[in-house]
Amino acid sequence: GPTRLWGGRFAGGPAEALARLSVSVQFDWRLAPYDLAASRAHARVLARAGLLDAEELGQMLAALDDLESACAAGEFRPTVEDEDVHTALERGLLERLGTLGGKLRAGRSRNDQVATDLRLYLRDHARGVAARIVELADALVDQAGRHIDTPAPGFTHMQPAQPVTFGHHLLAHVQALLRDLDRLRDWDRRAAVSPLGSGALAGSSLPLDPVVVAHELGFDAAVANSIDGVADRDFVAEFLFVAALTGVHLSRIGEEVVLWTTPSFGWVELDDAFATGSSIMPQKKNPDIAELARGKSGRLIGHVAGVLAMLKGLALAYDRDLQEDKEPVFDAVDTLELVLPALAGMISTMTVRVDRLAEAAPRGYTLATEVADWLVQRGVPFREAHEITGKLVMICAARECPLEDVSDEDLAACSPHLTPDVREVLSVRGALAARTTPGSTGPGPVSEQFAAVQDRLDGWREWVGES
């Protein structure tokens, strides 16, 4: 019959509708390797407490190893009868060990097991996600390195603002990704606490050692409070926030690539392998990766909101509502693992149209601030300099000409301060070269930023295990 973990006090089996609602094995099966690792640690601690003798421990560990290989090979699979991953794996253990298999459940509950498994899963996958973030950052840094002094228009309100270097713009995205990496590692420090030993909620009367178990599973410590151990899902909510914010950063990259590949911008051409066509319009080359990065950020944002809403009304300690924590977590990990490599490939293979960027950089009077700053250097208060330059822009707009093409008479008409040698600041290269302060867009500070970002990324390679 079915290996339900709780049949004793029930006269009959569960109703079909209950079983269908309750079952989670179709999605929590991916916790199996982590549940098996936690089971090994638990078996050892039972042996240390004298609850398994050496021979039993040996058999138990061998059966867990065998079960693990059978799971990996797909020879052992959960059935519809298995309520969850813990039930399925206990069945596998009983099939291998008979009654000895029933000893492993002593001193633990699915409540501390599932909390432990999910932390193990997430700590593992956080490193994988971080590795993919580093790869995307590498792709952006690589492009930035080719465009440290490539002039490009910079925007505010999506209106032409001031010239920037394209490398500086790309590195702005890298700075956001570096903060995402920081957040992941910071999250990991708080998540590195083991709930195993909390039992259902009150700990155990058996002489088990949660700290030994914690260290064996790679945690820094065991939880300080068994009720908190089974009730807390902060580590889920926090991870989902980090995933959502990362998703928002990917979305903003996506949105820009969508714009940059439009004919009106024409700043970037995508490699054929990272663009898609249309089923009806033969001329189309679409930036679907960028759009999916933008679109999928929606579900990541939804997962944080969903889990917080699920948690907000829960009385301590464990409530079954908590089972709803897993699908959002798995989907968040899956989504990032899909989007990040696609974006990295798209960015590293795209062709930047330096000619189009250079042409667009001064358009829309983006050098007007240079004129105002030039007047300030000659003692004109900025307030007045702004007025004067505004007049100049008005004249140019009426004449439909760029700033540098106005006549000496037009300059003088704006202000006696505006002598013809103002033209010396009317170059994009000059405006960029004049920006030498740290963090600004001039080629000098951008090459310093480029080197600093490379160092920081190298610092991440060890933590992410280069996986």
CB of 84 to ligand ARG, least distance (A): 4
Cβ proximity to ligand ARG: between 56 and 81 the closer is: 81
Fill in the per-residue mask, 395 to 434: x = in contact with ligand ARG (CB under 6 A), - = not in contact. ----------------------------------------
Please, which of residues 316-345 interact with ligand ARG by CB under 6 A? Answer: 318, 320, 322-323
Rounded to a whole number of angstroms, the minimum distance from the CB of residue 243 to ligand ARG is: 20
Say whether residue 111 binds ligand ARG (CB under 6 A). yes
Binding window for ligand ARG (CB under 6 A); candidates: 10-18, 107-115, 168-176, 293-301:
107-115
Number of Cβ within 10 Å of residue 250's Cβ equals: 29
Q: Does 194 contact ligand ARG by CB under 6 A?
A: no
Backbone dihedral angles phi then psi of residue 51, each to the nearest 5 degrees = -95, -10
Site size with ligand ARG, rule: CB under 6 A: 10
Neighbours of 466 (CB within 10 A): 10
Nearer CB in complex with ligand ARG: 25/275:
25
Active-site residue 427, yes or no? no
Which one of the spans 110-118, 173-181, 307-315, 404-412 is the region binding ligand ARG (CB under 6 A)? Answer: 110-118
Annotated catalytic residue, options 22, 69, 278, 407: 278
Least spacing, CB of residue 9 vs ligand ARG, in Å: 14
Please tell me whether residue 114 binds ligand ARG under the rule CB under 6 A: yes
Per the listing, tokens 């070269």 go with 433
- For the CB of residue 110, give the shortest distance to ligand ARG in the complex, in Å: 4
- With helix as H, strand as E and coil as C, how does the chain read? CCCCCCCCCCCCCCCHHHHHHHCCHHHHHHHHHHHHHHHHHHHHHHHHCCCCCHHHHHHHHHHHHHHHHHHHCCCCCCCCCCCCHHHHHHHHHHHHHHHHHHHCCCCCCHHHHHHHHHHHHHHHHHHHHHHHHHHHHHHHHHHHHHCCCCEEEEEECCEEEEEEEHHHHHHHHHHHHHHHHHHHHHHHHHHCEECCCCCCCCCCCCCCCHHHHHHHCCCCEECCCHHHHHHCCHHHHHHHHHHHHHHHHHHHHHHHHHHHCCCCCCCEECCHHHCECCCCCCCCCECHHHHHHHHHHHHHHHHHHHHHHHHCCCCCCCCHHHHHHHHHHHHHHHHHHHHHHHHHHHHHHCEECHHHHHHHCCCCCCCHHHHHHHHHHCCCCHHHHHHHHHHHHHHHHHHCCCHHHCCHHHHHHHCCCCCHHHHHHCCHHHHHHCCCCCCCCCHHHHHHHHHHHHHHHHHHHCCCCCC
**Least spacing, CB of residue 326 vs ligand ARG, in Å:** 6
Is residue 378 close enough to count as binding ligand ARG by CB under 6 A? Answer: no
Nearer to ligand ARG among residue 102 and residue 465 (C-beta): 102
Q: Which stretch binds ligand ARG (CB under 6 A): 279-287, 314-322, 353-361, 424-432?
A: 314-322
**Between 114 and 406, whose beta carbon lies closer to ligand ARG?**
114
Q: Which of 42, 91, 108, 110 binds ligand ARG (CB under 6 A)?
A: 110
* Binding to ligand ARG in span 65-94, by CB under 6 A: 84
The nearer residue to ligand ARG, 4 or 356, going by C-beta atoms, is 4
Asked if residue 24 binds ligand ARG (CB under 6 A), the reply is: yes
Task: Report, in Å, the least distance between residue 210 CB and ligand ARG.
Answer: 19
Task: Please report how close the Cβ of residue 125 comes to ligand ARG at its closest, in angstroms.
Answer: 17
- The catalytic residue among 157, 264, 279, 467 is 157
For 35, 40, 146, 271, the CA distances from 101, given in Å and listed in that order, are 15, 12, 61, 56
Query: What is the rounded CA–CA span in Å between residue 303 and residue 311?
Result: 12
User: Is residue 165 at the binding interface for ligand ARG, with CB under 6 A as the rule?
Assistant: no
Residue identified by tokens 């003692």 is: 379
Main-chain phi, psi angles of 160, to 5 degrees = -55, 130
Q: Report the residue number, 22 or 278, with the smaller CB distance to ligand ARG.
A: 22
- Catalytic residue list contains 157: yes
Q: Which is nearer to ligand ARG, 28 or 256 (CB)?
A: 28
Q: Which is nearer to ligand ARG, 5 or 192 (CB)?
A: 5
Q: By rule CB under 6 A, what string of x and - marks binding of each residue 28-57 to ligand ARG?
A: x-----------------------------
Just list the catalytic residues.
157, 278
Residues that bind ligand ARG (CB under 6 A): 24, 28, 84, 110-111, 114, 318, 320, 322-323
